[in-house]
Amino acid sequence: MKKKNPLFSFFSSVKLALFTLFLLAVTSIIGTVIPQKESMSWYAQNYSETTARIFQVLSIPDMYNSWWFLGLLGLLASNLIICSIDRFPGVWRQINADNLATDPKRIQKMRLSASWTSNKAEETLATELSDSLSSKGWKAFQRKRDDTLLLFAQKGAMTRTGVYIVHASILVIFLGAIIGELYGFKGSIMLPETQATNTIFQTGTGKSIDLGFTVRCDRFDIEFYDSGMPKAYKSVLTVSEDNKVTVKKEIVVNDPLTYRGITFYQSSYQGYEDFLLTVTNQENNETQTVPMPFQQQQELSKHNARIGIINAEAMGQTITRMKVWFKDDQGPASTFWLKAGDQVTVERPGKKYTIAGKQMYATGLQIAKDPGVWIVYLGCGLMILGLFVAFFMSHKRIWILLTQEDNGTTVLVSGSANKNKVGFERIFTSLSSDLETDTK
C-alpha cells in the first residue's frame, strides 16, 4: 500500500477541518462583540490605549478583512478541496461498483436477510421478482453466477455525494464573497429632498464612488407616534441616465431600489430647519416647488409671486406647523398657519392657489453593489441540498440470490444501507415480505 504524503494527510485531515471551524466560530464571536471599523481613538476611549494598540496590530477593527482571518478561510478551503480529492474517488467507486460481482458468501452473512423456498423455476422466479421490485420503484439487474442467479437493485447511490455537495457549497460561497469583495462596494449618502447626485462615499474609507448615473430624492415623508418617536419613513427616488428618467420608485425599509446591480436601501434621515413649499395655481394647474429657509422670502417665477415662512412650531426636532406669508401681484399679502404635510387653498383677487408645506429632510441611503451575491445564494442552496442528502437520504441496496435445489428454488434476500439503518430495516422487512407474497 502506497504511503501518503504527510503534508497531504495533514491538509486532508478531518481534525484540521474541525479545528479551523472552531477558530472561525470563536473569532466571529469576537468580531461580533467588538464593534468593527471604528477609529483608533474610539477603541482607546472605550477599552484602553494598550488594548487599542493590540487591536491595531491584530487588525481587530477590520477583523473580517484581516490577513489572519482570510488565512483561516483559505486554510478551510484548502482542507475541503484536498479532503474531497482524497476521499471522493473511493466514494465514486462505491457508487459505480459492480454489485452483481458480490461474493455470495458475503450476501449470506449480511445482518438483514430473509429466505424462503419456491417450487417455481429459477428463471420464472427471477422474472417475477424483477417485476415486483420494479413496481415498488427498484430497478433490478441480474447475472448468472455458477449454480446461482443473482439479482441486484439499489436506490440513492448518489446520496453518498451529500457531504461533497456541502464541501462544494462552502467553496461556492467563498467564491461569491471574493467576487463581491473585488468587484462590489458598500457606501452611503445623505441626500436632501429635491437634490440629485451621481456619487456616493465608500463605507470605511470615505472614498468617492461614481455611480455612472444620477439619483434624485424627489420627496421624503415621515410619520411619528404621539410621543414624537418616528413610526415610519419613506423616500421617492428617481434614477436618470443620459438626461432621461429610467426608474422611479418609493422605497421604505426592506423594500429597496435596485438599478444596474446597485441597490439603494432606506436607512436613516436628517431633518433640516428649512422647509419645502409647493404652490399650485388652480386655474392652469401650474406647480412650483421651492426649498424655503426660515424667515426668508423666495421668488415663485411661475406664479409671479413671493412666499416665505415667518414662524414655526416644533416638537423636539420635528416641525409640526408653520406660518406662511404669500403675496402675488394682486392685493396685500396673505398669512396663515399650515400644518406640516397638509395643504390649504388660498384665495387671491381673481385667483386660487393650493399651497402645501413640510419640513425639509435628507434621506439617508445605504448603497451596495455585490455581483457575487447570486453565487452566494447558489452556494447556500447547494448547502441546503447537500445537508438534506447527507442527513436524510441513504444508499439502499438489495441482493436476491436464487439457488436451484432438488426440492425447488431457494430465495435469499439480503440488504444494507450506509445510513439510517433502523429505517432501512423497516423498509427491508416490508419489501422482503411483499416479494415473498408476490412470488407465491
**What pLDDT shows up at residue 4?**
67
**What pLDDT shows up at residue 64?**
86
**What pLDDT shows up at residue 160?**
95
CB-count exposure of residue 243 (10 Å: 0-12, 13-18, 19+): exposed
**What pLDDT shows up at residue 159?**
95
Q: Is the torsion defined by CA of 426, 432, 434, 437 positive or negative?
A: negative
Give Cα 187 distance to the centre of its chain: 19
**What pLDDT shows up at residue 1?**
47
Q: Please tell me the pTM assigned to this model.
A: 0.76
**What pLDDT shows up at residue 388?**
96
Series of mean pLDDT values for 10-residue runs along the chain (440 residues): 72 88 91 86 90 90 89 93 92 94 92 92 91 94 89 95 95 93 91 93 87 94 81 93 92 93 94 90 91 90 92 84 91 91 90 92 94 94 96 95 87 94 94 90
Cell output for 173: 460561497
| SS3 readout for the chain | CCCCCHHHHHHCCHHHHHHHHHHHHHHHHHHHHCCCCCCHHHHHHHCCHHHHHHHHHHCHHHHHHCHHHHHHHHHHHHHHHHHHHHHHHHHHHHHCCCHHHCCHHHHHCCCEEEEEEECCCHHHHHHHHHHHHHHCCCCEEEEEECCEEEEEEEECHHHHHHHHHHHHHHHHHHHHHHHHHHHCEEEEEEEECCCEEEEEEECCCCCEEEEEEEEEEEEEEEEECCCCCEEEEEEEEEEEECCEEEEEEEEECCECEEECCEEEEEEEEEEEEEEEEEEEECCCCCEEEEEECCCCEEEECCCCEEEEEEEEEEECCEEEEEEEEEECCCCCCEEEEEECCCEEEEEECCEEEEEEEEEEEEEEEEEEECCCHHHHHHHHHHHHHHHHHHHHCCCEEEEEEEEEECCEEEEEEEEEECCCHHHHHHHHHHHHHHHHHHCC
The strand pairing partners of 308, in sequence order, are 297, 325
Q: What is the pLDDT of residues 282-338, one digit of tens each?
A: 988 999 999 989 989 989 999 889 999 999 988 777 888 999 999 998 889 999 999
**What pLDDT shows up at residue 181?**
87
Residues 188, 186: Cα–Cα separation, whole Å: 7
**What pLDDT shows up at residue 238?**
96
Residues 412, 436: Cα–Cα separation, whole Å: 10
**What pLDDT shows up at residue 3?**
64
Q: What is the pLDDT of residues 368-405, one digit of tens each?
A: 999 999 999 999 999 999 999 999 999 999 999 999 88
**What pLDDT shows up at residue 2?**
57
